[in-house]
């Protein structure tokens, strides 16, 4: 190494004092074989508040780690067989090729692919592929409320939770804001019954029977009351609601477009190469 701790400290102290006349001068701080580490290559470890001896220690630690890695690399290059070196070179070239192709495909997608997916397109795909959207779980639209056992006016809350009237629901929300430990309508989206079971802290063994028999469920533990008001449900093995699979359909259509664009791109490049005699099959 070509630097002392004192030199490092001087560099650290003077780094902020450089002017335009010296900024182009690179300061070497260490050397391994024919590889030189310059001060400007050291990450800005000093911007996190470290000063004085702490700064010196940070820089010295970085230099030591850099040297160990370079020395290990030199040792590997000296001792690995030609076969293993060739395999590494092959893997590096494959990685480079994959990255270049990926970036080119991405650029072409940004320039040429239609990313607008309309509601009508998604509905059409849904109608044409209903068998692909069979539910694997029981799902519900529900309201979940968790209250302390001693909540004042709890009977009124239970009545309001059963209601579908908008005014009642607004009153319910106001009361739950005051007293409930948790009040969740899941953004009025479909959720699985398994998720509700987690909220209830109990396992509902026969979910299908439960859903057929209950639009409202109440349970308690030592400190809380749990209320579930089921607004709608779909059973497993039935057709999933469009809203439930809408994001999946959007992703499917997008991926299909992406695949078709890449296929068209590859085929176009291939055919152009044949025409221009840049590719021959012997």
pTM for the model stands at 0.72
Taking CA atoms, 142 is separated from 3, 128, 228, in Å, by: 69, 29, 7
* C-alpha span between 12 and 26 (Å, rounded): 14
Strand, coil or helix: what is 273?
helix
Q: Is the pLDDT of residue 125 over 50?
A: yes
What is the pLDDT, as a whole number, of residue 24? 57
Q: Which class for 196: exposed (0-12), middle (13-18), buried (19 or more C-beta within 10 A)? A: buried
Q: Supply the DSSP string of 59-114, one letter for each residue.
A: HHHHHHHHHHHHHHHHHHHHHS-HHHHHHHHHHHHHHHHHHHHHHHHHHHHHHH--
The verdict on domain 135-234 having CATH code 3.90.550 is no
What is the pLDDT, as a whole number, of residue 75? 94
Task: Please compute Rg for the chain using Cα positions.
Answer: 33
The CA-CA-CA angle for residues 30, 34, 38, to 5°, reads 35
Domain map (residue ranges) of the chain: 5-79, 80-111, 119-129+240-275, 135-234
pLDDT digits (tens, 9 = 90+) for 160-181: 999 989 999 999 999 999 999 9
Q: What are phi and psi of 123, to 5 degrees?
A: -65, -40
């Amino acid at each position: 190494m070509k630097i002392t701790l004192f030199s490092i400290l001087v560099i650290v102290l003077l780094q902020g004092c450089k002017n335009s006349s010296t900024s182009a001068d690179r300061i070497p701080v260490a050397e391994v074989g024919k590889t030189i580490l310059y001060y400007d290559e050291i990450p800005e470890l000093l911007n996190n508040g470290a000063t004085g001896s702490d700064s010196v220690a940070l820089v010295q630690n970085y230099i030591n780690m850099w040297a160990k890695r370079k020395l290990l690399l030199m040792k590997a290059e000296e001792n690995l067989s030609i076969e293993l070196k060739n395999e590494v070179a092959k893997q590096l070239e494959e990685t480079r090729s994959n990255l270049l192709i990926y970036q080119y495909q991405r650029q072409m997608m940004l320039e040429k692919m239609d990313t607008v997916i309309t509601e009508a397109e998604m509905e059409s795909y849904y109608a044409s592929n209903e068998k692909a959207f069979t539910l694997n779980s029981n799902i519900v639209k529900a309201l979940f409320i968790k209250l302390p056992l001693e909540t004042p006016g709890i009977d009124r809350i239970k009545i309001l939770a059963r209601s579908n009237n908008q005014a009642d629901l607004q009153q319910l929300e106001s009361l739950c804001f005051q007293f409930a430990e948790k009040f969740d309508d899941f953004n009025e989206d479909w959720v699985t019954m398994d998720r509700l079971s987690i909220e209830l802290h109990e396992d509902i063994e026969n979910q299908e029977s439960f859903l057929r028999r209950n639009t409202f469920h109440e349970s308690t533990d030592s400190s809380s009351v749990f209320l579930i008001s089921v607004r709608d449900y779909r059973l497993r093995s039935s057709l999933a609601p469009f809203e439930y699979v809408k994001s999946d359909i959007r992703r499917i259509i997008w991926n299909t477009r992406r695949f078709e664009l890449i296929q068209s791109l590859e085929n176009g490049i291939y055919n152009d190469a044949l025409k221009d005699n840049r590719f021959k099959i012997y």
